[in-house]
Structure 1
Amino acid sequence: MFKGNIVALITPMDKKGKVCQKSLKNLIKYHIYSKTKAIVSLGTTGESSTFSKKEHINLVLSTIKLSKKKIPIIAGTGANSTKEAVLLTQKFENSGISACLSVTPYYNKPSQEGLYQHFKTISENTYLPQILYNVPSRTGCDLLPETICKLSKLKNIIGIKEASGNLARLNQIKNLVDENFLIFSGDDSTALDFMQLGGNGIISVTANIAAQEMSKICKLSLSGNFKQARKINKKLIKLHNILFIESNPIPIKWAAKKLGLIKNNTLRLPMTQPSKKLQKILSKELKKKKICLTKKNIFNVFKKNKKK
Protein backbone atom coordinates (compact mmCIF):
# COMPACT_ATOMS: atom_id res chain seq x y z
CA MET A 1 0.00 0.00 0.00
CA PHE A 2 2.76 2.45 0.87
CA LYS A 3 5.27 1.61 -1.87
CA GLY A 4 5.57 3.90 -4.88
CA ASN A 5 4.45 7.45 -5.55
CA ILE A 6 3.00 9.26 -2.54
CA VAL A 7 2.10 12.92 -2.95
CA ALA A 8 2.89 15.57 -0.35
CA LEU A 9 -0.35 17.39 -1.09
CA ILE A 10 -0.63 21.16 -1.37
CA THR A 11 -3.46 22.75 0.62
CA PRO A 12 -5.83 24.65 -1.71
CA MET A 13 -7.16 27.90 -0.26
CA ASP A 14 -9.53 30.68 -1.25
CA LYS A 15 -8.39 34.29 -1.49
CA LYS A 16 -8.92 34.76 2.24
CA GLY A 17 -6.69 31.82 3.16
CA LYS A 18 -9.44 29.38 4.10
CA VAL A 19 -9.34 25.81 2.81
CA CYS A 20 -11.14 25.44 -0.54
CA GLN A 21 -13.11 22.20 -0.23
CA LYS A 22 -13.98 22.08 -3.94
CA SER A 23 -10.35 22.28 -5.01
CA LEU A 24 -9.38 19.75 -2.34
CA LYS A 25 -11.96 17.31 -3.70
CA ASN A 26 -10.64 17.83 -7.23
CA LEU A 27 -7.04 17.25 -6.12
CA ILE A 28 -8.00 13.97 -4.49
CA LYS A 29 -9.85 12.87 -7.65
CA TYR A 30 -6.82 13.75 -9.73
CA HIS A 31 -4.54 11.56 -7.61
CA ILE A 32 -6.94 8.64 -7.58
CA TYR A 33 -7.13 8.89 -11.39
CA SER A 34 -3.33 9.13 -11.65
CA LYS A 35 -2.78 6.02 -9.49
CA THR A 36 -0.96 7.87 -6.75
CA LYS A 37 -0.45 5.34 -3.95
CA ALA A 38 -1.27 7.63 -1.00
CA ILE A 39 -1.77 11.27 -0.03
CA VAL A 40 0.08 13.07 2.76
CA SER A 41 -2.26 15.66 4.23
CA LEU A 42 -0.60 18.63 5.94
CA GLY A 43 3.05 17.84 5.60
CA THR A 44 5.54 20.61 4.83
CA THR A 45 4.06 21.12 1.35
CA GLY A 46 0.60 21.46 2.89
CA GLU A 47 1.77 24.46 4.96
CA SER A 48 1.13 22.66 8.24
CA SER A 49 3.12 25.18 10.26
CA THR A 50 0.56 27.90 9.45
CA PHE A 51 -2.46 25.91 10.65
CA SER A 52 -4.01 26.00 14.11
CA LYS A 53 -4.54 22.64 15.78
CA LYS A 54 -8.29 22.80 15.12
CA GLU A 55 -7.77 23.68 11.46
CA HIS A 56 -5.19 20.94 11.13
CA ILE A 57 -7.51 18.25 12.48
CA ASN A 58 -10.47 19.44 10.40
CA LEU A 59 -8.47 19.48 7.16
CA VAL A 60 -7.12 15.95 7.63
CA LEU A 61 -10.59 14.65 8.51
CA SER A 62 -12.03 16.38 5.43
CA THR A 63 -9.36 14.77 3.27
CA ILE A 64 -10.23 11.34 4.67
CA LYS A 65 -13.94 11.93 4.06
CA LEU A 66 -13.47 13.22 0.51
CA SER A 67 -11.19 10.32 -0.41
CA LYS A 68 -14.06 7.87 0.18
CA LYS A 69 -11.52 5.16 1.04
CA LYS A 70 -10.30 5.12 -2.58
CA ILE A 71 -6.77 6.22 -1.64
CA PRO A 72 -4.88 5.96 1.68
CA ILE A 73 -4.44 9.20 3.62
CA ILE A 74 -1.34 9.83 5.72
CA ALA A 75 -1.64 12.63 8.28
CA GLY A 76 1.19 14.99 9.05
CA THR A 77 1.36 14.92 12.84
CA GLY A 78 4.83 16.24 13.68
CA ALA A 79 5.57 18.99 16.20
CA ASN A 80 8.58 20.32 18.03
CA SER A 81 6.77 19.61 21.31
CA THR A 82 6.55 15.89 22.05
CA LYS A 83 3.36 16.37 24.03
CA GLU A 84 1.72 18.24 21.14
CA ALA A 85 2.81 15.57 18.63
CA VAL A 86 1.28 12.86 20.82
CA LEU A 87 -2.02 14.72 21.24
CA LEU A 88 -2.27 15.49 17.53
CA THR A 89 -1.55 11.87 16.62
CA GLN A 90 -4.19 10.59 19.03
CA LYS A 91 -6.81 12.85 17.44
CA PHE A 92 -6.69 10.67 14.32
CA GLU A 93 -7.21 7.33 16.02
CA ASN A 94 -10.40 5.67 14.70
CA SER A 95 -10.57 8.27 11.91
CA GLY A 96 -9.74 5.99 8.99
CA ILE A 97 -6.22 7.39 8.65
CA SER A 98 -3.68 4.93 7.24
CA ALA A 99 -0.53 6.27 8.91
CA CYS A 100 1.11 9.37 10.36
CA LEU A 101 4.12 11.27 9.03
CA SER A 102 6.04 12.73 11.95
CA VAL A 103 8.81 15.25 11.29
CA THR A 104 11.83 15.63 13.57
CA PRO A 105 11.35 18.41 16.15
CA TYR A 106 12.32 21.68 14.49
CA TYR A 107 14.10 24.66 16.06
CA ASN A 108 14.83 22.83 19.35
CA LYS A 109 17.89 21.05 17.87
CA PRO A 110 17.60 17.93 20.10
CA SER A 111 20.36 15.37 20.53
CA GLN A 112 20.06 11.88 19.04
CA GLU A 113 18.85 10.64 22.43
CA GLY A 114 16.26 13.42 22.47
CA LEU A 115 15.07 12.40 19.01
CA TYR A 116 14.85 8.77 20.06
CA GLN A 117 12.84 9.59 23.18
CA HIS A 118 10.57 11.93 21.19
CA PHE A 119 9.53 9.29 18.66
CA LYS A 120 9.50 6.52 21.27
CA THR A 121 7.02 8.50 23.35
CA ILE A 122 4.75 9.02 20.33
CA SER A 123 4.95 5.31 19.49
CA GLU A 124 4.04 4.29 23.03
CA ASN A 125 0.96 6.50 23.05
CA THR A 126 -0.77 5.41 19.84
CA TYR A 127 -1.45 2.32 17.78
CA LEU A 128 -1.29 4.25 14.49
CA PRO A 129 1.58 3.38 12.10
CA GLN A 130 4.31 6.02 12.18
CA ILE A 131 6.56 7.17 9.34
CA LEU A 132 9.53 9.22 10.51
CA TYR A 133 10.44 12.34 8.54
CA ASN A 134 14.01 13.58 8.36
CA VAL A 135 14.53 16.92 6.60
CA PRO A 136 17.61 18.63 8.12
CA SER A 137 17.44 21.66 5.81
CA ARG A 138 14.08 22.58 7.34
CA THR A 139 14.40 21.45 10.94
CA GLY A 140 17.97 22.14 11.97
CA CYS A 141 18.55 18.58 13.18
CA ASP A 142 19.48 15.32 11.49
CA LEU A 143 18.05 11.90 12.41
CA LEU A 144 21.09 9.63 12.03
CA PRO A 145 21.01 6.00 10.77
CA GLU A 146 21.90 4.54 14.17
CA THR A 147 18.95 6.32 15.79
CA ILE A 148 16.66 5.27 12.93
CA CYS A 149 17.75 1.66 13.56
CA LYS A 150 16.76 1.87 17.23
CA LEU A 151 13.42 3.44 16.35
CA SER A 152 12.69 0.83 13.65
CA LYS A 153 12.50 -1.81 16.37
CA LEU A 154 9.52 -0.11 18.02
CA LYS A 155 6.11 -1.68 17.42
CA ASN A 156 4.46 0.79 15.06
CA ILE A 157 7.32 2.74 13.45
CA ILE A 158 7.12 1.38 9.90
CA GLY A 159 9.36 3.62 7.81
CA ILE A 160 11.04 6.94 7.14
CA LYS A 161 10.89 9.78 4.64
CA GLU A 162 14.56 10.59 4.15
CA ALA A 163 14.81 14.08 2.70
CA SER A 164 18.45 14.92 3.30
CA GLY A 165 19.21 14.47 -0.41
CA ASN A 166 22.20 12.33 0.56
CA LEU A 167 22.01 9.08 -1.42
CA ALA A 168 24.70 7.47 0.72
CA ARG A 169 22.30 7.71 3.64
CA LEU A 170 20.01 5.09 2.07
CA ASN A 171 22.56 2.28 2.21
CA GLN A 172 23.58 3.31 5.71
CA ILE A 173 19.98 2.91 6.85
CA LYS A 174 19.30 -0.27 4.86
CA ASN A 175 22.31 -1.98 6.42
CA LEU A 176 20.88 -1.38 9.90
CA VAL A 177 17.13 -2.00 9.61
CA ASP A 178 14.95 -5.00 8.76
CA GLU A 179 13.97 -5.46 5.11
CA ASN A 180 10.33 -4.66 5.88
CA PHE A 181 11.20 -1.16 7.11
CA LEU A 182 10.05 1.32 4.43
CA ILE A 183 12.46 3.98 3.20
CA PHE A 184 11.07 6.80 1.05
CA SER A 185 12.92 9.54 -0.74
CA GLY A 186 11.87 13.06 0.13
CA ASP A 187 13.87 14.61 -2.71
CA ASP A 188 12.34 14.52 -6.21
CA SER A 189 15.58 15.24 -8.06
CA THR A 190 17.33 12.14 -6.66
CA ALA A 191 14.29 9.87 -6.18
CA LEU A 192 14.98 7.60 -9.16
CA ASP A 193 18.55 6.95 -8.03
CA PHE A 194 17.20 6.43 -4.52
CA MET A 195 14.85 3.69 -5.74
CA GLN A 196 17.58 2.11 -7.87
CA LEU A 197 19.62 1.81 -4.68
CA GLY A 198 16.74 0.03 -2.95
CA GLY A 199 14.33 2.72 -1.77
CA ASN A 200 10.60 1.98 -1.65
CA GLY A 201 9.31 5.10 -3.39
CA ILE A 202 8.97 8.83 -2.86
CA ILE A 203 6.85 11.29 -0.95
CA SER A 204 6.81 13.79 -3.77
CA VAL A 205 6.28 17.50 -4.35
CA THR A 206 6.44 17.22 -8.16
CA ALA A 207 3.59 14.69 -8.07
CA ASN A 208 1.21 17.57 -7.29
CA ILE A 209 1.37 18.55 -10.97
CA ALA A 210 2.85 15.45 -12.63
CA ALA A 211 1.19 12.61 -10.76
CA GLN A 212 0.91 10.26 -13.72
CA GLU A 213 4.59 10.62 -14.59
CA MET A 214 5.73 10.13 -10.99
CA SER A 215 3.49 7.08 -10.63
CA LYS A 216 4.95 5.57 -13.80
CA ILE A 217 8.52 6.29 -12.69
CA CYS A 218 7.92 4.58 -9.36
CA LYS A 219 6.09 1.60 -10.86
CA LEU A 220 8.84 1.01 -13.44
CA SER A 221 11.60 1.47 -10.87
CA LEU A 222 10.08 -0.89 -8.32
CA SER A 223 9.72 -3.53 -11.05
CA GLY A 224 13.38 -3.10 -12.03
CA ASN A 225 12.81 -1.30 -15.34
CA PHE A 226 15.12 1.61 -14.60
CA LYS A 227 15.93 2.29 -18.25
CA GLN A 228 12.35 3.20 -19.07
CA ALA A 229 11.88 5.01 -15.75
CA ARG A 230 14.92 7.14 -16.52
CA LYS A 231 13.47 8.17 -19.89
CA ILE A 232 10.40 9.60 -18.15
CA ASN A 233 12.39 11.13 -15.32
CA LYS A 234 14.73 12.85 -17.76
CA LYS A 235 11.80 15.01 -18.88
CA LEU A 236 11.15 16.11 -15.30
CA ILE A 237 14.68 16.71 -13.97
CA LYS A 238 14.69 20.45 -14.69
CA LEU A 239 11.17 20.80 -13.27
CA HIS A 240 12.22 19.00 -10.05
CA ASN A 241 14.91 21.62 -9.52
CA ILE A 242 12.83 24.66 -10.54
CA LEU A 243 10.20 23.72 -7.95
CA PHE A 244 12.78 24.39 -5.24
CA ILE A 245 14.32 27.63 -6.53
CA GLU A 246 12.16 29.35 -3.92
CA SER A 247 10.88 27.72 -0.74
CA ASN A 248 8.36 24.91 -1.11
CA PRO A 249 5.37 25.17 -1.58
CA ILE A 250 5.65 28.58 -3.28
CA PRO A 251 6.56 27.29 -6.78
CA ILE A 252 4.41 24.13 -6.76
CA LYS A 253 1.29 25.98 -5.70
CA TRP A 254 1.75 28.59 -8.43
CA ALA A 255 2.25 25.79 -11.00
CA ALA A 256 -0.90 23.99 -9.82
CA LYS A 257 -2.89 27.19 -10.31
CA LYS A 258 -1.29 27.76 -13.73
CA LEU A 259 -2.39 24.29 -14.84
CA GLY A 260 -5.92 24.66 -13.48
CA LEU A 261 -5.68 22.17 -10.62
CA ILE A 262 -6.63 24.74 -8.02
CA LYS A 263 -8.60 27.97 -8.31
CA ASN A 264 -6.22 30.15 -6.28
CA ASN A 265 -2.57 29.81 -5.31
CA THR A 266 -3.11 31.59 -2.01
CA LEU A 267 -0.32 31.12 0.55
CA ARG A 268 -0.40 31.94 4.23
CA LEU A 269 2.20 34.33 5.56
CA PRO A 270 5.11 34.27 5.97
CA MET A 271 5.03 32.54 2.55
CA THR A 272 4.53 34.98 -0.34
CA GLN A 273 3.94 34.74 -4.08
CA PRO A 274 6.81 33.62 -6.35
CA SER A 275 8.98 36.24 -7.97
CA LYS A 276 8.21 37.32 -11.53
CA LYS A 277 11.49 35.73 -12.60
CA LEU A 278 10.50 32.34 -11.18
CA GLN A 279 7.02 32.56 -12.70
CA LYS A 280 8.57 33.10 -16.13
CA ILE A 281 11.01 30.17 -15.73
CA LEU A 282 8.34 27.82 -14.40
CA SER A 283 5.77 28.77 -17.03
CA LYS A 284 8.28 28.13 -19.80
CA GLU A 285 9.21 24.72 -18.39
CA LEU A 286 5.59 23.60 -18.01
CA LYS A 287 4.91 24.42 -21.67
CA LYS A 288 8.17 22.87 -22.86
CA LYS A 289 7.73 19.52 -21.17
CA LYS A 290 4.09 19.00 -22.16
CA ILE A 291 3.49 16.86 -19.09
CA CYS A 292 0.36 14.70 -18.92
CA LEU A 293 -1.25 17.32 -16.76
CA THR A 294 -3.01 19.86 -19.01
CA LYS A 295 -6.08 21.95 -18.36
CA LYS A 296 -8.10 19.86 -20.79
CA ASN A 297 -6.97 16.63 -19.15
CA ILE A 298 -7.69 17.91 -15.64
CA PHE A 299 -11.21 19.00 -16.48
CA ASN A 300 -11.92 15.68 -18.19
CA VAL A 301 -10.75 13.87 -15.06
CA PHE A 302 -12.96 16.00 -12.84
CA LYS A 303 -15.95 15.60 -15.16
CA LYS A 304 -15.47 11.82 -15.33
CA ASN A 305 -15.21 11.47 -11.57
CA LYS A 306 -18.17 13.76 -10.91
CA LYS A 307 -20.51 11.10 -12.25
CA LYS A 308 -19.19 8.47 -9.83
Structure 2
Amino acid sequence: MAIFKGAGVAIATPFKENGEVNYDEFARLIEFQIENGTDAIIVCGTTGEAATMSEKEHMDVVKFCIEKVNKRIPVIAGTGSNCTETAVELSKLAEEYGADGVLLVTPYYNKATQNGLIKHFSAVADAISIPIILYNVPSRTGCNILPETVVKLCKEYKNIVGIKDATGNIAQTSHMMQIADGCIDLYSGNDDEIVPIMSVGGQGVISVLSNVAPRQTHDICQKCLDGDFKSARELQFKALPLVKALFSEVNPIPVKSALKMIGFEAGPLRLPLTEMEPEHEAVLREEMKKFGLMK
Protein backbone atom coordinates (compact mmCIF):
# COMPACT_ATOMS: atom_id res chain seq x y z
CA MET A 1 0.00 0.00 0.00
CA ALA A 2 1.59 3.26 -1.14
CA ILE A 3 2.10 6.02 1.45
CA PHE A 4 0.09 8.22 -0.90
CA LYS A 5 -1.19 8.35 -4.43
CA GLY A 6 -1.48 11.62 -6.34
CA ALA A 7 0.24 14.96 -5.79
CA GLY A 8 2.48 15.42 -2.80
CA VAL A 9 3.73 18.97 -2.33
CA ALA A 10 7.43 19.54 -1.69
CA ILE A 11 6.44 22.39 0.56
CA ALA A 12 8.41 25.63 0.82
CA THR A 13 9.43 26.99 4.21
CA PRO A 14 8.41 30.63 4.80
CA PHE A 15 10.99 32.76 6.60
CA LYS A 16 10.72 36.08 8.39
CA GLU A 17 12.87 38.99 7.25
CA ASN A 18 15.27 38.23 10.10
CA GLY A 19 15.75 34.71 8.73
CA GLU A 20 13.74 32.82 11.33
CA VAL A 21 11.06 30.33 10.27
CA ASN A 22 7.67 32.04 9.93
CA TYR A 23 5.53 29.40 11.60
CA ASP A 24 2.30 31.40 11.31
CA GLU A 25 2.68 31.63 7.55
CA PHE A 26 3.82 28.02 7.35
CA ALA A 27 0.58 26.99 9.07
CA ARG A 28 -1.38 29.06 6.56
CA LEU A 29 0.44 27.42 3.65
CA ILE A 30 -0.26 23.95 5.07
CA GLU A 31 -3.98 24.74 5.35
CA PHE A 32 -4.01 26.09 1.79
CA GLN A 33 -2.54 22.81 0.57
CA ILE A 34 -5.02 20.61 2.42
CA GLU A 35 -8.00 22.73 1.39
CA ASN A 36 -6.98 22.48 -2.26
CA GLY A 37 -6.61 18.74 -2.56
CA THR A 38 -2.93 18.03 -1.99
CA ASP A 39 -2.53 14.33 -1.29
CA ALA A 40 0.57 14.51 0.93
CA ILE A 41 3.06 17.03 2.32
CA ILE A 42 6.79 16.49 1.98
CA VAL A 43 8.48 18.77 4.50
CA CYS A 44 12.11 19.87 4.68
CA GLY A 45 13.19 18.75 1.26
CA THR A 46 15.07 20.78 -1.32
CA THR A 47 12.16 23.19 -1.78
CA GLY A 48 11.96 23.64 1.99
CA GLU A 49 15.59 24.83 2.11
CA ALA A 50 16.53 22.13 4.62
CA ALA A 51 20.15 22.36 3.46
CA THR A 52 20.50 25.72 5.20
CA MET A 53 18.82 24.71 8.46
CA SER A 54 20.50 23.49 11.61
CA GLU A 55 19.53 19.95 12.58
CA LYS A 56 17.42 21.26 15.48
CA GLU A 57 15.66 23.81 13.28
CA HIS A 58 15.11 21.18 10.58
CA MET A 59 13.42 18.81 12.99
CA ASP A 60 11.43 21.60 14.68
CA VAL A 61 9.91 22.38 11.28
CA VAL A 62 9.16 18.69 10.68
CA LYS A 63 7.51 18.38 14.10
CA PHE A 64 5.42 21.51 13.57
CA CYS A 65 4.19 20.27 10.20
CA ILE A 66 3.25 16.85 11.55
CA GLU A 67 1.31 18.38 14.44
CA LYS A 68 -0.42 20.96 12.24
CA VAL A 69 -1.52 18.40 9.63
CA ASN A 70 -2.70 16.12 12.45
CA LYS A 71 -3.08 13.01 10.27
CA ARG A 72 -5.43 14.66 7.77
CA ILE A 73 -3.04 13.67 4.97
CA PRO A 74 0.34 11.90 5.07
CA VAL A 75 3.43 13.86 6.07
CA ILE A 76 6.76 12.68 4.73
CA ALA A 77 9.87 14.18 6.31
CA GLY A 78 13.02 14.89 4.37
CA THR A 79 15.72 13.34 6.54
CA GLY A 80 18.47 12.61 4.06
CA SER A 81 22.09 13.57 4.58
CA ASN A 82 25.49 12.83 3.10
CA CYS A 83 26.41 11.59 6.57
CA THR A 84 24.79 8.22 7.27
CA GLU A 85 24.78 8.75 11.03
CA THR A 86 22.95 12.06 10.61
CA ALA A 87 20.38 10.52 8.26
CA VAL A 88 19.74 7.77 10.81
CA GLU A 89 19.28 10.21 13.70
CA LEU A 90 17.00 12.57 11.77
CA SER A 91 14.91 9.64 10.53
CA LYS A 92 14.53 8.24 14.05
CA LEU A 93 13.33 11.63 15.26
CA ALA A 94 10.85 11.90 12.38
CA GLU A 95 9.40 8.53 13.34
CA GLU A 96 9.22 9.60 16.99
CA TYR A 97 7.35 12.78 15.99
CA GLY A 98 4.76 10.81 14.03
CA ALA A 99 5.85 11.17 10.39
CA ASP A 100 4.11 8.82 7.97
CA GLY A 101 7.38 8.25 6.12
CA VAL A 102 10.76 9.74 5.30
CA LEU A 103 12.37 10.89 2.06
CA LEU A 104 16.07 10.06 1.77
CA VAL A 105 18.16 11.81 -0.85
CA THR A 106 21.29 10.09 -2.12
CA PRO A 107 24.41 11.20 -0.23
CA TYR A 108 25.59 14.35 -1.99
CA TYR A 109 29.22 15.39 -2.56
CA ASN A 110 30.60 12.08 -1.25
CA LYS A 111 29.46 10.37 -4.49
CA ALA A 112 29.09 6.91 -2.97
CA THR A 113 29.41 3.71 -4.99
CA GLN A 114 26.33 1.54 -5.46
CA ASN A 115 27.57 -0.63 -2.60
CA GLY A 116 27.95 2.48 -0.46
CA LEU A 117 24.40 3.54 -1.33
CA ILE A 118 23.09 0.13 -0.30
CA LYS A 119 24.88 0.33 3.05
CA HIS A 120 23.76 3.94 3.61
CA PHE A 121 20.05 3.31 2.96
CA SER A 122 20.16 -0.04 4.76
CA ALA A 123 21.47 1.65 7.91
CA VAL A 124 18.44 3.96 7.98
CA ALA A 125 16.02 1.13 7.16
CA ASP A 126 17.40 -0.91 10.05
CA ALA A 127 16.93 2.01 12.44
CA ILE A 128 13.27 2.87 11.76
CA SER A 129 10.04 1.05 10.93
CA ILE A 130 8.14 3.74 8.99
CA PRO A 131 8.24 3.72 5.16
CA ILE A 132 11.21 5.15 3.27
CA ILE A 133 11.09 6.78 -0.16
CA LEU A 134 14.48 7.12 -1.84
CA TYR A 135 15.23 10.32 -3.74
CA ASN A 136 17.30 10.14 -6.90
CA VAL A 137 18.36 13.56 -8.21
CA PRO A 138 21.80 13.23 -9.82
CA SER A 139 21.79 16.83 -11.10
CA ARG A 140 22.04 18.04 -7.49
CA THR A 141 23.92 15.22 -5.79
CA GLY A 142 26.37 13.99 -8.43
CA CYS A 143 25.21 10.47 -7.59
CA ASN A 144 22.79 8.16 -9.45
CA ILE A 145 21.00 5.19 -7.89
CA LEU A 146 20.98 2.52 -10.57
CA PRO A 147 17.74 0.58 -11.20
CA GLU A 148 19.22 -2.68 -9.92
CA THR A 149 20.22 -0.98 -6.66
CA VAL A 150 16.73 0.42 -6.10
CA VAL A 151 15.12 -2.97 -6.77
CA LYS A 152 17.55 -4.73 -4.42
CA LEU A 153 16.79 -2.30 -1.60
CA CYS A 154 13.01 -2.44 -2.10
CA LYS A 155 13.03 -6.24 -2.17
CA GLU A 156 15.31 -6.70 0.83
CA TYR A 157 13.74 -4.08 3.13
CA LYS A 158 9.99 -4.01 3.62
CA ASN A 159 10.12 -0.38 4.76
CA ILE A 160 12.01 0.86 1.68
CA VAL A 161 8.93 1.25 -0.44
CA GLY A 162 9.64 3.58 -3.33
CA ILE A 163 11.56 6.32 -5.05
CA LYS A 164 11.20 9.94 -6.07
CA ASP A 165 12.71 9.90 -9.55
CA ALA A 166 14.17 13.22 -10.70
CA THR A 167 16.71 11.75 -13.10
CA GLY A 168 14.96 13.06 -16.20
CA ASN A 169 15.95 9.73 -17.78
CA ILE A 170 12.72 7.98 -18.75
CA ALA A 171 14.66 5.06 -20.24
CA GLN A 172 16.32 4.37 -16.88
CA THR A 173 13.00 4.79 -15.08
CA SER A 174 11.24 2.40 -17.45
CA HIS A 175 13.98 -0.20 -17.02
CA MET A 176 13.72 0.12 -13.24
CA MET A 177 9.98 -0.50 -13.33
CA GLN A 178 10.42 -3.36 -15.80
CA ILE A 179 12.69 -5.27 -13.40
CA ALA A 180 10.89 -4.19 -10.21
CA ASP A 181 8.13 -6.78 -10.41
CA GLY A 182 5.79 -4.35 -8.64
CA CYS A 183 7.97 -3.74 -5.59
CA ILE A 184 8.55 0.02 -6.16
CA ASP A 185 6.17 2.92 -5.50
CA LEU A 186 7.37 5.40 -8.11
CA TYR A 187 6.89 9.18 -7.86
CA SER A 188 7.93 11.75 -10.42
CA GLY A 189 10.42 14.26 -9.08
CA ASN A 190 9.91 16.57 -12.05
CA ASP A 191 6.70 18.51 -12.64
CA ASP A 192 7.13 18.34 -16.42
CA GLU A 193 7.24 14.53 -16.36
CA ILE A 194 4.21 13.60 -14.27
CA VAL A 195 2.31 11.89 -17.09
CA PRO A 196 5.33 10.04 -18.58
CA ILE A 197 6.34 8.74 -15.15
CA MET A 198 2.80 7.67 -14.26
CA SER A 199 2.41 5.97 -17.64
CA VAL A 200 5.15 3.49 -16.64
CA GLY A 201 3.54 2.75 -13.29
CA GLY A 202 4.07 5.86 -11.16
CA GLN A 203 1.82 6.60 -8.19
CA GLY A 204 2.06 10.38 -8.49
CA VAL A 205 4.45 13.29 -8.06
CA ILE A 206 6.42 15.03 -5.34
CA SER A 207 5.87 18.49 -6.68
CA VAL A 208 7.17 22.05 -6.62
CA LEU A 209 4.26 23.21 -8.80
CA SER A 210 1.82 22.08 -6.09
CA ASN A 211 2.99 24.93 -3.86
CA VAL A 212 1.04 27.39 -6.02
CA ALA A 213 -1.27 25.07 -8.01
CA PRO A 214 -2.20 22.20 -5.68
CA ARG A 215 -5.61 21.49 -7.21
CA GLN A 216 -4.32 21.45 -10.78
CA THR A 217 -1.38 19.18 -9.92
CA HIS A 218 -3.68 16.82 -8.04
CA ASP A 219 -5.98 16.70 -11.07
CA ILE A 220 -3.15 15.72 -13.44
CA CYS A 221 -2.31 12.80 -11.16
CA GLN A 222 -5.92 11.80 -10.59
CA LYS A 223 -6.60 11.63 -14.33
CA CYS A 224 -3.64 9.28 -14.66
CA LEU A 225 -4.79 7.15 -11.73
CA ASP A 226 -8.23 6.97 -13.37
CA GLY A 227 -6.64 5.78 -16.64
CA ASP A 228 -7.61 8.95 -18.50
CA PHE A 229 -4.16 9.73 -19.88
CA LYS A 230 -5.56 11.87 -22.70
CA SER A 231 -7.05 14.38 -20.26
CA ALA A 232 -3.99 14.13 -18.02
CA ARG A 233 -1.75 14.90 -20.97
CA GLU A 234 -3.80 17.97 -21.84
CA LEU A 235 -3.53 19.26 -18.27
CA GLN A 236 0.20 18.51 -18.23
CA PHE A 237 0.74 20.41 -21.48
CA LYS A 238 -1.18 23.40 -20.12
CA ALA A 239 1.09 23.49 -17.06
CA LEU A 240 4.40 23.20 -18.95
CA PRO A 241 5.03 26.95 -19.52
CA LEU A 242 4.46 27.66 -15.82
CA VAL A 243 6.67 24.73 -14.82
CA LYS A 244 9.42 26.06 -17.08
CA ALA A 245 9.16 29.47 -15.40
CA LEU A 246 9.26 27.84 -11.95
CA PHE A 247 12.60 26.28 -12.88
CA SER A 248 14.09 29.26 -14.74
CA GLU A 249 16.40 29.61 -11.74
CA VAL A 250 17.44 27.02 -9.19
CA ASN A 251 14.59 25.72 -7.02
CA PRO A 252 13.20 27.11 -4.70
CA ILE A 253 14.04 30.64 -5.86
CA PRO A 254 11.16 30.96 -8.37
CA VAL A 255 8.51 29.16 -6.33
CA LYS A 256 9.05 31.45 -3.34
CA SER A 257 8.54 34.41 -5.69
CA ALA A 258 5.40 32.71 -7.02
CA LEU A 259 4.06 32.22 -3.49
CA LYS A 260 4.51 35.93 -2.83
CA MET A 261 2.57 36.67 -6.03
CA ILE A 262 -0.48 34.82 -4.69
CA GLY A 263 -0.35 36.45 -1.26
CA PHE A 264 1.87 34.29 0.92
CA GLU A 265 4.61 35.88 3.02
CA ALA A 266 7.22 33.41 1.81
CA GLY A 267 9.98 35.72 2.97
CA PRO A 268 13.62 35.74 1.90
CA LEU A 269 15.76 32.87 0.76
CA ARG A 270 18.75 31.79 2.77
CA LEU A 271 22.17 32.30 1.27
CA PRO A 272 23.71 31.11 -0.96
CA LEU A 273 20.32 31.37 -2.71
CA THR A 274 19.36 34.89 -3.75
CA GLU A 275 16.21 36.62 -4.94
CA MET A 276 14.90 36.00 -8.45
CA GLU A 277 16.29 38.06 -11.34
CA PRO A 278 13.75 40.69 -12.50
CA GLU A 279 13.58 39.42 -16.09
CA HIS A 280 12.81 35.87 -14.92
CA GLU A 281 10.31 37.14 -12.37
CA ALA A 282 8.44 39.04 -15.08
CA VAL A 283 8.09 35.86 -17.14
CA LEU A 284 6.96 33.92 -14.07
CA ARG A 285 4.34 36.54 -13.26
CA GLU A 286 2.98 36.36 -16.81
CA GLU A 287 2.77 32.55 -16.71
CA MET A 288 1.04 32.67 -13.33
CA LYS A 289 -1.59 34.93 -14.90
CA LYS A 290 -2.01 32.71 -17.94
CA PHE A 291 -2.47 29.68 -15.72
CA GLY A 292 -5.23 31.49 -13.84
CA LEU A 293 -3.45 31.77 -10.50
CA MET A 294 -3.51 35.56 -10.35
CA LYS A 295 -5.05 38.50 -12.17
Same fold (TM over 0.5): yes
For the pair 1:189 / 2:192, whether they are aligned, the reply is: yes
For the pair 1:41 / 2:43, whether they are aligned, the reply is: yes
Q: Which runs of 5+ in 2 are unaligned?
A: none
Q: 1:266 aligns to what?
A: 268
Shift of 1:286: 0.9
Aligned counterparts of 1:134 and 1:12: Cα–Cα separation in 2: 25
The partner residue of 1:242 within 232, 242, 245 is: 245
Q: 2:289 aligns to what?
A: 287
Q: 2:150 aligns to what?
A: 148
| Identity, % of aligned positions | 44
Q: Is the 8 A contact 1:170 1:199 kept in 2?
A: no
Q: Is the 8 A contact 1:256 1:265 kept in 2?
A: no
Q: 1:306 aligns to what?
A: none
Shift of 1:68: 2.1
Q: Is the 8 A contact 1:161 1:186 kept in 2?
A: yes
Q: 2:88 aligns to what?
A: 86
Q: 2:278 aligns to what?
A: 276
Q: Partner amino acid for 2:75? A: I
Q: 2:64 aligns to what?
A: 62
Q: Which runs of 5+ in 1 are unaligned?
A: 296-308
SS at 1:93 equivalent: helix
Deviations 1:128-174 (A, max 9, x none): 21100000000011000011111111121010001011111222111
Aligned counterparts of 1:144 and 1:264: Cα–Cα separation in 2: 36
Shift of 1:270: 0.5
Q: Is the 8 A contact 1:130 1:157 kept in 2?
A: yes
Q: 1:50 aligns to what?
A: 52
Q: Is the 8 A contact 2:82 2:106 kept in 1?
A: yes
Range that drifts further, 31-40 or 74-83 = 31-40
Q: 1:228 aligns to what?
A: 231
SS at 1:235 equivalent: helix
Aligned counterparts of 2:154 and 2:16: Cα–Cα separation in 1: 40
The partner residue of 1:257 within 255, 260, 263 is: 260
Shift of 1:127: 1.1
Q: Is the 8 A contact 1:257 1:263 kept in 2?
A: yes
Range that drifts further, 178-187 or 77-86 = 178-187
Q: 2:23 aligns to what?
A: 21
Aligned CA-pair RMSD: 1.2
Q: Partner amino acid for 1:102? A: L
Q: Is the 8 A contact 1:106 1:139 kept in 2?
A: yes
